[in-house]
Amino acid sequence: MKDIKPQYKEFFKTLGNETRINILLCLERDGECSVSRIVKALDVDQSTVSHNLKRLEKCSFVEVRPSGKERLYSLNKQTIKPLFTIIEKHSQKYCKNFCCK
């Protein structure tokens, strides 16, 4: 069996964490957010959110914009936002009876 492409491994490893998925879903729902807003929305401690945002930023899942003393995070509009649309369509069509219970 062939080795998994390193970029695939890193991509799915990044998505394979519930906290990171929740952060991405929070950004999808609320748009651009600061760390403190994400912490409040998810009820997770600040260090956990910051750690996971670094991982998401490393793989360009999120975009970062400085605003005064804060950094504002949003979904990567070119790739991740459309990917979420595809995942939603796929889930509704093919996973209704299995993964969406």
Q: Is residue 82 part of a domain?
A: no
C-alpha to C-alpha distance for 62 and 24, rounded to whole angstroms: 8
Question: pTM (2 decimals)?
Answer: 0.88
CATH of the domain at 69: 1.10.10.10
Q: Is residue 29 part of a domain?
A: yes
Mean pLDDT over residues 20-34, rounded?
97
Q: Is residue 93 part of a domain?
A: no
pLDDT of 95 reads 83
The tens digit of pLDDT for each residue in 72-82 reads 999 999 999 99
Name the pairing type of β-strands 70-75 and 62-67: antiparallel
Q: Which helix (H) or strand (E) holds 72?
A: strand 70-75
Nearest partner of 80 among 10, 1, 15, 30, judged by Cα: 15
Domain holding 68, by residue range, is 6-76
What is the tally of structural domains in the chain?
1
The tens digit of pLDDT for each residue in 44-66 reads 999 999 999 999 999 999 999 99
Q: What is the mean pLDDT of the chain?
A: 92
